[in-house]
Structure 1
Amino acid sequence: MRRAILATCLSLLPALAGAQTLTVATGAPPTSVDPHYYNAAPNFALSMHIFDRLVERDAEVKPYPGLAASWEAIEPTVWEFRLRPGVTWHDGQPFTAEDVAFSIARPPLVPNSPASFSPFVRAIKRTEVIDPLTVRFHTAAPHPLLPVELGSIAIVARHAVEGRGTEDFNAGRAAIGTGPYRITSAVPGDRFELARNPAWFGPAQPWERVTYRVVANDTARVSALLAGDVDVIDQVPSTDLARLRRDSRVSIAEVQGLRLIFIAFDRSRRGNLPQVTDNAGNPLPTNPFDDLRVRRALTIAVNREALVDRVMEGAAAPAGQWMPRGTTTHAPDVPVPAFDPEAARRLLAEAGYPDGFRMTLFTPNDRYPNDARTAQAVAQMWTRIGVRTAVEALPWTSFSVRSSRQEFPLRLAGWGSSTGEAGSFLISVIGTFDRRAQRGAANAARYSNPALDALTDRAATLLKLEDRAAVLQQAIRLATDDVAMVPLFNIANAWATRRGLVHEPRMDERTVAMGTRPAP
């Protein structure tokens, strides 16, 4: 419904709007134009301008037809997708089912991907091209979530991409999409220039050109908006929200987000971990995070209410699980862990660390709202129970690469469950890392729990939402009991625009020019 309203408003814009340019300032840098390289929100947001998907998701993460006009399960293990006719690539060539088959096969093959898109196609065992506008996906077992999962897979042009790599997308040679904008220049980490695609099958876009700038510094991003240098900013700093709400020069758009900020323990090593030592600086003989008592001590030593009030200034909600309240698979019987530093000290003593130990928490400093400040606050809380914690903050471009190599003993991270269900976190973030099974693509910590994997696989086969939700909630309880990670809070998403513009906030936090329009 919200998409329909937006489309109607756009269609009524005066012709003059077509000559306008929109400048967007995003706080987190897209690292590549390749839409299959890195499953991260900044990369996904950029790709939404250039590429389309078979199934799209609206601002409330509800699916609707994209390049697929319709779809149905014609057999328990066969999904048939009928493609939208008359769609062309940016270079004028026709879009066909061959492009779809190529795009579905590509994600597992992209080299050096920090977080692969392969979990979203793992259920597909065979792709069958019936005719230029019909494709069938064969799965090993019934897989009702396939249309939702395909909402994460961008469709690329086989003729432009075959035989080329990620660097060819950044150079523009492979960045041929069907989307509302075509890319004219790319400087990853700085800016991307886009031009409107007049042949796009979707609603007419009011912006002839879009400049997508990276402005990582919060103060600089707000200043650029107030000075009129940019039209839209995301990741509005919580410290500025109250002031900007009162400023007549800007408008604020907010929505409860799906992103969890959490801390993951490295479980890739059984022996000593780098930068984890006793109080004298000597390496520990075993990985302390393999002990459930240590993990429980660290999670109950975090005062989540204080983090939300003092660090996030109310722009978040304390979390005991990754799905926020109001989502279909939120487990209502899983509470936010009670803050109990005394119990945490007792657990550490029981685990053989009565005097604690030393460690380093790694965090990005330009990816999530208040990411480095959050890490510092958590480090202080852990230091108070005897686990002396230093913080090392890095730019996202460096942090993401090093994290994927398992260089960190523990890390602050974030994940947005953009499918609206608990399954994506279970498969990608805490599912046992297995390239062949296309599981654990974002599991840099290498947490593993076979019982959790079994529940995840079972949920994926259940046709009824209520049955699937029950199993996913059981998985949430299991992950919580095992302290698979330390959940901190769910972020509330906020954007600011200059006066005269309206922005549609997205639960998946993606910042797209298609969601901004001149005010009526």
Structure 2
Amino acid sequence: MVGRNDVHGSLRSRLDARLTRRRVLRSVYAAGVGVAGIALVGCGEDEEAGSPPTPGAQSASQQPSDARQDEASQGQGRPVLTQEDRGQTQSAEPTGPQQPGARQSQGDASAQQSSAGPAPEDLVNPLEWRERYHWRELAALHDPPLTPTAGGTLTIESAAVDSWDPFAAWEPELEAAQSGHLLPLVYSRLVELDVSDRSDAHRTLIQGDLAVGWEWLDPTTLSFSLRPGVFWPDESPTGGRPLDAIDVASSYAALMEPGTRQAPIYEAVERIEAYIGEGDRGVIFRLLEPSAPLLNQMTSPWHVVLPAEVVSGSQRVDLSQRSIGTGPFDLNRSDGRSSWVVTRNPSYARRDAGGLALPYLDEVRGEDYAVRDQLGNPPPGGARWAAWESGAAQAIALDGPAEARRALDAQPDAQLQVTPPTPSGGPHFTFRSLSDGPFADTRVRTALSMALHRGNLSALVYDGFAALDAAQNWTFFSAAGNSSGGLREWPWEADELGQAQQYEPNQALALLAAAGYNEENPLTLGVDMAPTLNPAGNPYDPGAQRIAEFVAQQWEQYLFGAVEVRRLERIWTQFTDSQGSLWFIPEPDPGVDLVFQDPADVEIYDADADDLAYASLHSAGRYNRAGINDPEIDEWAVAQRRALDPLERADLLGRIWLKEQEEIWRILLVNPYGVRVRRGSVFNLLDTYYAKSLQIAPDQLKTAWNGR
């Protein structure tokens, strides 16, 4: 029996619903994935430039080390977007030769202005910033050890929560708009992430929440023992009764129902059994086959436990704005649009290592300042800056280094933290079809990728504070120097990625010519563009517009004569959800050849390499929006899920990573680093790469505290 684990997982199921107070049998979809470290052990040798990094491993017993070498001194990366040291091997100014007759795209003046980007002195060196504001600087705040301050209120910037019902109907059309990321504030899970200022923000370990321990009885049987002394609220329908194994088993069974948001995660689970024995009680997950990802994916914020009578429907309870949970807080109010408030649960069962009751805070307030601005009459500079500069907010998310400087100027005592880009977080383009037409030709796809100067895109949109996107979770790969606990903690550099990510416009033209496209037979590209205005007549997603326009201009300028670009703005469509609410959704024009994809539109948890290996690349993967259908990828993606041997899984993930670099099924661009700031009086509010659009990992708020 262990209290932490980061190795095994699970996959598939059928359905058998027999629910009694003694035992639950349930077959369902189940596949968990791992955040902290699904053990993928690397060989430990230096990688050759250009070869795929080896997926690595971290065992449950490994602890993050604060002793880290300065990556700059190791030469593991160099400043991006400067002439002398080009971290992306691309300068801030286009270096490719002008082709005969090369010209600017339509609207020459605006094209010039759009491509220019910020002045060189405004660009940011990501290597310098990520070292200066590394998570280990937060750990140093606790030396000497500090005694947490109990009580008080913490106000943070956080996305609004439209419903607090864990089992609300899933609307695939509205996946980006449907929340649930803060459910662990008011509900408990079997396992969670160990998140604090002393944690490794890039490789967080799993710890028990409702589980006090777990054990793999064999490769397809996972047993959890439950924490004693956990009680439901003293209100209808639970009446203050103790939590039991039936609650846990029925909740996970409901999560696994086909058609629910979490069902694909649990494809390997055949059934769940609740057991009650002498001095012990728990649940057993019985799998149809071994699965590497299960435990880590179970840390997802949507995998919470509710009372069995609520799950079964025998007691009808509206949970959209109310909680009946065993989590650290109780839901006080939520307007579903711009704010929420949770207050301390006095019956919460857990304590810290020193015996102090958790949570420390009396109240946490979440404010969606962007929505507040949209609701009308925003203060000068916006609601977020007004709250930060006045001290009303103690933690906000920042859009790059320029805002970071402003935040530090307003509150000099603040603590800044830089986190890696989320692996699935980079905007990119997918092709209309990979099976027929011009984009079935790898040469065409490669040419379009090689014509893009990603260094300029980073400078234009993100002030240079972005990494090249590889759309795989680098935290499961090993690399010399650029590592944390033996594994990578920062994205790949240019010389580690395939040739198609390099800026080579001459070679791109040659590839198009070989594929039959030239001035006499140009390739027509219908490029997906974000709408200029929303249905209310207000500006809509200017960032997406800038990215798509940059890409269109690059193709026009550097592939002049071989391509003709058509800009096709998205069309607003209406959708009525299951509650009768009307939504407006921008859909690509039917004539587009390249579709703009924003990963914020889907809820990828980034918890394990499986999220981007199987879920995004397998022909049946739930996030495969590119239409990828490759027999080898399908075989490897399934095999890595079943591979419990770390080296075997490492090899499979490496093959998948390398083949995507060769095939260019997606036009990957750049992926911005994350920046978050908090007041100097706030502790244990660590940012993590997988918090992503969630803006905050809810696991840590039970141990967060405000010293003022």
TM-score range, shorter chain: 0.7 to 0.9
The CA distance in 1 between the partners of 2:703 and 2:556, in whole Å, is 43
Counting only pairs closer than 5 Å after superposition, residues 143-182 of structure 1 correspond to structure 2 as 143-152=291-300, 154-157=303-306, 158-163=308-313, 168-172=318-322, 175-182=323-330
Q: Is the 8 A contact 1:257 1:490 kept in 2?
A: yes
Q: Which moved more, 1:295-304 or 1:35-44?
A: 35-44
1:33 maps to: 164
How far off is 1:128 after superposition?
A: 1.8
1:46 maps to: 182
2:6 maps to: none
Q: Is the 8 A contact 2:396 2:677 kept in 1?
A: yes
Determine which structure has the larger strand proportion and give its number: 1
1:208 maps to: 362
Distance 1:171 1:302, change over 3 A: same
Q: Is the 8 A contact 2:394 2:679 kept in 1?
A: yes
Percentage identity across paired residues of the two chains: 24
Counting only pairs closer than 5 Å after superposition, residues 237-386 of structure 1 correspond to structure 2 as 237-249=400-412, 250-259=414-423, 260-265=425-430, 288-324=438-474, 327-328=477-478, 334-335=497-498, 337-351=501-515, 353-354=517-518, 355-361=522-528, 370-384=543-557, 385=559, 386=563
2:224 maps to: 81
How far off is 1:190 after superposition?
A: 1.8
TM-score, length-scaled by structure 2: 0.60
Tell me the SS of whatever aligns to 1:207. coil
How far off is 1:519 after superposition?
A: 4.8
Residues 296-321 of structure 1: CA deviation (Å, up to 9, x unaligned): 23322332222233321243211234
Distance 1:374 1:455, change over 3 A: same
Distance 1:34 1:447, change over 3 A: farther
Aligned amino acid, residue 308 of structure 1 = S
Tell whether 2:657 aligns with 1:484. no
The CA distance in 1 between the partners of 2:453 and 2:314, in whole Å, is 49
* Match 1:129 to one of 270, 274, 287: 274
1:413 maps to: 598
Q: Is the 8 A contact 1:380 1:389 kept in 2?
A: no
> How many pairs are equivalent?
488
Tell me the SS of whatever aligns to 1:138. strand
Higher-Rg structure is 2
Residues 367-410 of structure 1: CA deviation (Å, up to 9, x unaligned): 99955543443333234333344565999x99996679999861
Q: Is the 8 A contact 1:196 1:208 kept in 2?
A: yes
Distance 1:338 1:269, change over 3 A: closer
Tell me the SS of whatever aligns to 2:673. strand
The CA distance in 2 between the partners of 1:30 and 1:375, in whole Å, is 30
Structure 2 gaps of 5+ residues are: 1-62, 65-134, 195-200, 235-239, 353-357, 374-380, 479-486, 576-581
* Match 2:613 to one of 426, 431, 445: 426
Determine which structure has the larger helix proportion and give its number: 1
2:156 maps to: 24
1:119 maps to: 264
Tell me the SS of whatever aligns to 1:377. helix
TM-score, length-scaled by structure 1: 0.79
How far off is 1:42 after superposition?
A: 8.7
The CA distance in 2 between the partners of 1:45 and 1:7, in whole Å, is 28
Tell me the SS of whatever aligns to 1:109. coil
Distance 1:43 1:288, change over 3 A: farther
2:14 maps to: none
Structure 1 gaps of 5+ residues are: 271-285, 434-439
How far off is 1:164 after superposition?
A: 9.6
Residues 84-140 of structure 1: CA deviation (Å, up to 9, x unaligned): 2222234534322222222323335375x6xx3223211212212222822111122
